[in-house]
Structure 1
Amino acid sequence: MSTQGNRMRGALFGDQLRNFKDAIVYNGTYEITNGTIKPMEDRWRKNPAELSYQMGFGKNTIIQPMDTETGPVLPNYLAIGQLPRSSDPSEKFDVMGIVLFVEEKPSQALIGQARTINVAEVVLMDHSSQQPLTVSTWDDLANLASEALLVKAQSLEPVGFTALKVSTHKGFSMTTTMSTEVILSPTGSEWLL
């Protein structure tokens, strides 16, 4: 919604409903990037205040929550040792760490109806735990992991991940969500030392 009060409709179809359900909350405010904008027929507009365009959500779409007064919600990084080993499935956590390992080439995971998706594992470490943390990155983030994060692993520079969920698929680990952003140069990384 713009400051002028204009509204644009967004459309989710099929698997997208399940994929984006945790990223969007009713009446929330968001910054949406990489959504597709296309004209919408007037017959689908519910009132004249709606723009004559609609937004589509694809695998490259990133949805970040916004505070209506202060703008983007900044990451609230937790130390790896502070992450809860079990949590409500809707809870998301921000984590920063030194990249120890990145799969050079994403593997293929079979999901749904004979559909494959890229997945790559990233291993992080910080000062708070002797146990490294594995983060499973999915789809386009898996491609990013196998490119940009390899450079970070070689230089032992910190990387931030936002909106991760707890996973117990292979023991305790974290997994990316539709709201996850990989921050290659996070601020406040001095606490890692």
Structure 2
Amino acid sequence: MRLYVGFIFLSFGMRGEEISATVFGDDVEMYDKNAQQNKEYEISNAKLRPVREEYKKKPNELEMQFTPYTVIRPLFVEDGGTSVINYVDLSSIALDFDNKDLYDVVGVILYLEPIRSIEKRNGSGQVDVRELVLLDHSITHPVTITVWGDLARDECQQLSAAIESA
């Protein structure tokens, strides 16, 4: 007989659907440190799918499967209750923004180009570059984002692995 120790994350979508994720085994300790009861979190890089018919309690139930790339972060700062995440629509980002500006966006990656190396303008070597094509609800034409260096190698590789495993 096996004993599974676990806990459940519950989330409710805008259309009333229930989304649950059950964590078992060694993952309990890892996620237990990052999640507290009655707190709100952003969960990214998790797979969503309908609950199997034999386990449904009500219509529109979804289950969330965590992957090695799943990230859980709080929506609000403990002391002031202010949001740590400020999502913006792609359409609200000006074309002439400062390259030091940071934006939180939610979108669908339509295409992730393979990584390639290009020669630096000053001739001092090569740099890795990758393009991703992104779309959100605020625009009708996708946006192409060019990603350089470590971002092209590391973070985009995680995105690529998550896409391939879906």
Same fold (TM over 0.5): no
- Find the structure with the greater CA-based Rg: 2
TM-score range (shorter-chain normalised) is 0.3 to 0.5
Structure richer in strand, relative to its length:
1
Q: Which has the higher contact order (CA 8 A, sep 6+)?
A: 1
TM-score, normalised by the number of residues in structure 1: 0.37
